[in-house]
Chain A
């Protein structure tokens, strides 16, 4: 495995060296440097993640929690060590509060189907925001179909900020769960989740935070936040697809029924009665994504070795540069102007459809997302069907921004803007 040298000072983040850790970034598209600006959809993977996945397959793979043989014990140890890494990443109190899932989507569905079905009944309310990803909308609508809960939506303002006063007014005696994003995937808004949790706690309401777009960019401390659930996907954190984390307070998880039945989640089974396993395995039915989890462990190691201070300093500076450069293009209209932005810039260019822009940029090797970003209510709020979204990760630099700006000038020229 490639050794990772820790970088101590935030100012010394060496993007050129980081780019070398990501083999795909040395690829060329039609003779041009690959400009990857779609990390909010899925981030590229450093070599250490690929090495970790290959390494477990070549030297230590077996099913976990089953075999008495040493190979299985080693696989189990490696798999469980990732739980500890995830615990440290989120600063959870205990490893049993870390449940492995396929991704944030599955984590939210788990909470809806387990906590939601067991603890919420007809007329109880789930409060979300207007800028949620579909994965933090649809599971609650499905729960509504099942047990008649009411979905309440807190508005956002023209800047793309959560309207906290309106949010507070929507909290009522029937509010039984608050589920909000930490960073809005279509706008880049950093939601003041500390304030959201504080408001919720005044009313004794549990809070779920969708951390998909936050964890790649900033340190998260679930104990300091005092949230009840926190979810993220591995593939947005430079890890593999198909693996993610649900953090839940032990006290809540313990009271929740399992949501899928099968192997691994049981202690004993007879035809008459099944005794469920303890936390966290109660929620991990079936053979888990062992290889993916080990890849996620390497991704967490990678991010922590660079450090969130360095990542934050680099990305904040790059976002400011990108915003400045984009706003100099006269037909660019940036969607959302949050005070605190992370990772994402969504914009329109004149009346040109984002898919046309995406096609033209692609010719220059520039990868952006063009569409509704799985956040159609957000698009509706700003009166657009779709936007172009440029999103940034640790490996992006000013050359990427400059390439994007040059590509947009080509669009302008072609569409005579």
Chain B
């Protein structure tokens, strides 16, 4: 990734709080002013895992879009200390950031772009946004939509089930080979066994009151996705558990009816993709698909136009390395 675009720091007022953000400015804007808002995920700050958010923002600004990344209230580089940031706080921050972005940069179109928990936050923010904070489209990567993944504040981690452990140890892979490897892996076991035991005991610990709220919020993501009336791109990593959970728990056989929506979401599968798309090839694929999808907002669209008309086929990303997509959460490999 080259470093081509100019960035500027912004302070986003959010009630009593302030969010620290960075805007990537396009060198030249032709047609409508389009912005991409990238809320941060639970752990890495606003530059994202392996600098993914920075890379997406750089690439989109080089393609003529504005991009805003920010840190949540009281965390990372935002002022203050907020130890108990709730899911609702993060949703409020995303909406506030979107309102600020639209207003300060006179955007005609603004799109939310989120990864994992950040995707869930983006979706909730879009669902509850007022007109001034409106999301004209969503790019949701490895969307966290299965409530079973929420068992403590480590959103995205799954509760350790004894059955899963047994299955992993005895029923997957070559058991004999595993047994032979034991003497060579003692160092690894010394670290991982206590973690496993802690994971198994986790379910008996007193639950933080935020957890049920968060679980409910994550559980409603499928429904919100169905209700979102504007274009949406779902990006999943082929090897990420989020994909399996989406297929099996959130939208088995398209129970949500995403394929029947007036503007059905586009679904793209990144080959060999993991949870944060942690390789150069995966990152490039994510960027290419994002830019391809964003193209629908910029081409011949009159300024001020907000969303494609109902039923209009949303811009299809250029064919990915080897896969893609059937709408509604069912994925097929391309021939």
Chain B binds chain A? no
